[in-house]
Structures are given as C-alpha cells and as structure tokens.
Amino acid sequence: MKQGRKIVFSGFSLSPDDRSIRELLARACSAGKTEKVTVVLENSNENILDRYREIYGDRVEPNCSGWKQFLEE
C-alpha cells in the first residue's frame, strides 16, 4: 500500500481493537504517497470516518452511498 495513491476501504470499521492493522496502515501511510482514501459506507458514520482520519488526515473522503452504488458510479 505504500505505492498506492488512492485507496478504497469498504466494510471495514477500523475498530480501535484492531491495533496491528492500524499500525500497519499508519506505517504504510508514512512511507507512501497516498493522496486519497475513500471510505465506502451505507450511511454516514463519523466514528468510523474519524478512525480513518486519525491515520490519513484530510485525505479521507467518505462515500455514503453504499458499495453497490459506489461501483456503479
């Protein structure tokens, strides 16, 4: 993921208990060139979005239309 400029997450809440995954993503983010992170949700969920923002900051872009709609776009 350190080479990916755009990353899409769907169906993953990035739970605070997933420490190893959070650390992995943070390391990849600091070493990489990620410009945009899209988090696909069925409905807006600020708690989930805030978890991604802790790692990716203002590069997080929510898409609250759901996975099916996201793929159709």
Neighbours of 46 (CB within 10 A): 9
User: Does residue 52 form part of some domain?
Assistant: yes
Total domain count, the chain: 1
Positions of the chain with pLDDT lower than 70, given as ranges = 1-3
Q: What is the pLDDT of residue 2?
A: 53
Q: What are phi and psi of 17, to 5 degrees?
A: -75, -15
Neighbours of 64 (CB within 10 A): 14
Query: For tokens 């993503």, what's the residue?
Result: 25
User: Does residue 66 form part of some domain?
Assistant: yes
- What is the pTM for the complete model shown? 0.85
DSSP one-letter code for 62: E
User: Does residue 30 form part of some domain?
Assistant: yes
Q: What is the pLDDT of residue 64?
A: 92
Range of the domain at 14: 6-72
Q: What is the pLDDT of residue 47?
A: 95
User: Does residue 1 form part of some domain?
Assistant: no
User: Does residue 67 form part of some domain?
Assistant: yes
